[in-house]
């Protein structure tokens, strides 16, 4: 199991499309007691996709959360310990990507693992997810000033991260402004593209991952996708462990 002591912000870069984009991750301390797991040797570096979420046949709106069958959502939230509101975003994004980019195969358990490691499913530091998916208060990473992180000067005039000197990772999926600007989307049809809204953030992360690695099903493709999000070997292991637990 990774160290129980909090570690520094982890920064990863990947070459996507025509430019370098970065995703920053907050590395957190202990795992919640309600998601126990046994030590594994060797450490897992791949998590197979969980069974596909059950799709709602007649969604009531264009929001990704309305793509998810309510009975599946309630039962799976109970078994995994993920809040229904967060799980609806992960499952809805997986269903949406299965239609938009079916060859990618990005699974809800992988998205949920990233959401857990990045922000405890939008609850880091006492934040909460509202009924609309809005995270309050907003979640921000440390300033990427080069002292213990990559050096990333401000790229958004503080529009997304509130910092006009350096970039900071934002929202429940911890994207830095450059990445959010490239992949932002309105996933819940509220007319806004908000990195502090879990629906928009998860769908943006899904779009990014499937562009970085068009095959998130196979071992090599899955590893490449996670490495594009954060290249630290310890991050890969942590995402794999968590995704395996959720699939189980």
Looking at per-residue pLDDT, the higher value among 36 and 101 belongs to 101
Q: What is the pLDDT of residues 191-204, one digit of tens each?
A: 999 999 999 999 99
pTM above 0.85, yes or no: no
Residue 210 domain flag: yes
* pLDDT above 90 as % of the chain: 67
Q: Is residue 5 part of a domain?
A: no
pLDDT at 17: 30
Mean pLDDT of 12-16: 33
User: What would the mean pLDDT of 129-156 be, rounded to a whole number?
Assistant: 86
Identify the band that residue 156 occupies on the pLDDT scale cut at 50, 70 and 90.
Answer: low
pLDDT score recorded for residue 161: 61
Counting DSSP H helices and E strands in the chain, the numbers are 7, 4
Examine residue 1 and state whether it is found in any structural domain, yes or no.
no
Among the listed residues 117, 64, 123, the one whose alpha carbon sits nearest the alpha carbon of residue 243: 117
Answer whether residue 209 is part of any domain. yes
All residues at 6 or more sequence positions from 22 whose CB lies less than 8 Å from its CB, including other chains: 11, 12, 13, 14, 150, 152, 176, 178, 179
Residue 33 within any structural domain of the chain: yes
Domain that holds residue 53: 10-247
Average pLDDT over residues 224-231: 96
Total domain count, the chain:
1
- Confidence check: pLDDT of 40 > 70: no
pLDDT at 4 over 80: no
- 3 is a domain residue: no
Q: How far apart are CA 131 and CA 83, in angstroms?
A: 12
| Share above pLDDT 70 across residues of the chain, in percent, rounded to a whole number | 79
Average pLDDT over all residues of the chain: 84
Decide if 190 is inside a domain.
Answer: yes
Please report the pLDDT score of residue 61 as a whole number: 80
The answer to whether 91 and 73 are in contact (CB under 8 A) is yes
122 within some domain: yes
Q: What is the pLDDT of residues 64-88, one digit of tens each?
A: 999 999 999 999 999 999 999 999 9
């Amino acid at each position: 199991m990774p160290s129980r002591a909090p570690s520094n912000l982890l920064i990863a870069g990947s070459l996507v499309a025509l430019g370098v984009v970065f995703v920053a991750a907050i590395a957190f301390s202990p795992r919640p007691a309600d998601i126990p797991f046994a030590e594994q040797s060797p450490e897992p570096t791949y998590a197979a996709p969980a069974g596909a979420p059950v799709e709602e046949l007649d969604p009531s709106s264009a929001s990704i959360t309305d793509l998810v069958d309510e009975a599946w959502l309630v039962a799976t939230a109970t078994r995994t310990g993920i809040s229904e509101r967060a799980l609806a975003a992960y499952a809805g994004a997986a269903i949406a990507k299965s239609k938009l980019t079916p060859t990618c195969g990005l699974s809800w358990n992988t998205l949920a693992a990233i959401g857990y490691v990045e922000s405890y499913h939008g609850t880091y530091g006492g934040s909460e997810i509202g009924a609309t998916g809005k995270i309050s208060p907003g979640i921000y990473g440390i300033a990427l000033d080069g002292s213990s992180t990559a050096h990333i000067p401000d790229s958004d005039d503080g529009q997304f991260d509130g910092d006009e000197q350096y970039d900071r990772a934002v929202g429940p999926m911890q994207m830095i402004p450059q990445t959010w600007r490239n992949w932002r989307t309105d996933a819940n049809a509220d007319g806004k593209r908000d990195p502090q809204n879990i629906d928009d953030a998860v769908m943006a992360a899904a779009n990014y991952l499937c562009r970085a690695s068009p095959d998130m099903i196979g071992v090599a493709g899955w590893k490449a996708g996670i490495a594009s999000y954060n290249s630290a070997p310890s991050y890969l292991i942590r995402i794999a462990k968590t995704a395996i637990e959720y699939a189980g």
